[in-house]
Amino acid sequence: MGRLTADPELKKTASDLSVTSFTLAVDRNYGKGADRQTDFINCVAWRQTAEFISRYFSKGRLMAVEGSIQVRSYVDKNENKRQAVEVLVDQAYFADSKNSAAASNATPDDFGPPPPPSRSYGSSAASAAPSFQAASAPTPNFGYSNGAAEDFEEVSEDEEDLPF
């Protein structure tokens, strides 16, 4: 999870696949008295995930991603062998509220409802269309850490309509 360092730009490959590359600025955990450190994580997303990210996210937005580490080898223009390490994004989530997004010059309509999540099972990751989900906005001042016992109810294991 981190903040976008620039607006994601949607590009198309020669075979008309959507792709976007972006960088997330991720703060490291730090202890008392320690200086904050930030890692800049390169990410790449394909197909519907790339379209979703480029449409709904902008510079400064807090984004959570789920995916896998990909290492690519290539030869640069000076004939030097190089490696690129990046996150191949399977899913992207909103990690901030619409209010904080609005403070960064975005309009609420920019973050309207995303298309429904899609998921493909039983196929390889390379051929499956990436899926995505948008995290719903958190309920203010509510959470497991600050909820009272009376806010919860016990659910029996036999009950078929579990809330999750």
Q: Is 73 helix (H, G, I), strand (E, B) or coil?
A: strand
How many percent of the chain have pLDDT more than 90? Answer: 52
Segments making up each domain of the chain, as ranges: 2-151
Low-confidence ranges of the chain (pLDDT < 70): 98-164
Name beta bridge partners: 25: 3, 40
Architecture category of domain 2-151 in CATH: Beta Barrel (2.40)
pLDDT at 35: 84
DSSP one-letter string for 7-70: ----EE-TT--EEEEEEEEEEPP--TTPPP-EEEEEEEEEHHHHHHHHHH--TT-EEEEEEEEE
pLDDT at 163: 56
pLDDT at 148: 58
pTM here is 0.59
CA distance 157 to 60: 43
pLDDT at 60: 93
